[in-house]
Amino acid sequence: MKILIDTSAINRIIAGRDSFIPILAKNIETVLGTKFDMDNIYIDVKLGTLQDEIMRLASSKSDYDNLAAEIHMLRSMMQDMQ
């Protein structure tokens, strides 16, 4: 399989780098910000699930030490990310 590269497009980007670099930087910032948001969303959902589970275990007088430790760890991660 042969890949053809349009060198004229690359040359235009390099020649117009003064306008291209800010756009690239903004795109990178957007992607990194999205990942951060997704991490927060994942942790929030996981915390909600674990908190529901710990309530169920506590009401049935079951051991919930492992869940409590995981909740504590996730809360610490959330605090570190802010």
Q: What's the pLDDT tens digit per position in 12-33?
A: 766 766 776 777 777 777 777 6
In tens, the pLDDT along 45-59 reads 888 888 898 898 888
- pTM score of the predicted model: 0.53
CA dist., res. 31 & res. 74, Å (int): 23
Cβ atoms of 53 and 25 within 8 Å: the answer is: no
CA distance 35 to 51: 24
